[in-house]
């Protein structure tokens, strides 16, 4: 299960990032975080931008709704997803990763 945090301005989602991967993908979960792989190198924010683009496309959000709040240079990141609540995000994640239970 992903350790999601609902706030007044949206939901904070922890992400375990892998930069320099063979392809861009959401690959599952690990230790309460969403696992994400991107092809961009972890330099000058390129991988972070690729993660934002991947999350936006996967969760049907605009890139402007996703903001990196912690972990700029770390593989352990937290993103604020604005314009949705916890139940909406859980429903979207359930469609992306149907084998996991996000309702708990």
* pLDDT, tens digit, 9 for 90 and up, residues 40-88: 999 999 999 999 999 999 999 999 999 999 999 999 999 999 999 999 9
74 φψ region: left (φ > 0), alpha (ψ -120 to 50), beta (else): beta
What CATH code is carried by the domain that includes residue 44? 3.30.1200.10
- The number of domains in the chain is 1
On whether residue 30 sits in a domain, the answer given is yes
On whether residue 102 sits in a domain, the answer given is no
* pLDDT, tens digit, 9 for 90 and up, residues 15-26: 999 999 999 999
User: Residue 11 is part of which domain span?
Assistant: 5-96
Sign, CA dihedral 48-95-4-64, equals positive
On whether residue 103 sits in a domain, the answer given is no
In terms of pTM, does the model score above 0.85?
yes
């Amino acid at each position: 299960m992903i350790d999601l945090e609902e706030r007044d301005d949206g939901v904070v989602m922890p992400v375990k990032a892998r930069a320099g991967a063979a392809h861009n993908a959401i690959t599952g979960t690990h230790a309460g975080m969403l696992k994400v792989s991107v092809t961009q190198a972890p330099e000058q924010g390129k991988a972070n931008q690729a993660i934002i683009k991947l999350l936006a496309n996967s969760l049907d959000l605009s890139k402007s709704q996703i903001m990196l709040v912690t972990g700029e240079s770390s593989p352990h990141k937290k993103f604020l997803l604005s314009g949705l609540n916890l139940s909406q995000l859980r429903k979207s994640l359930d469609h992306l990763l149907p084998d996991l239970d996000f309702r708990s």
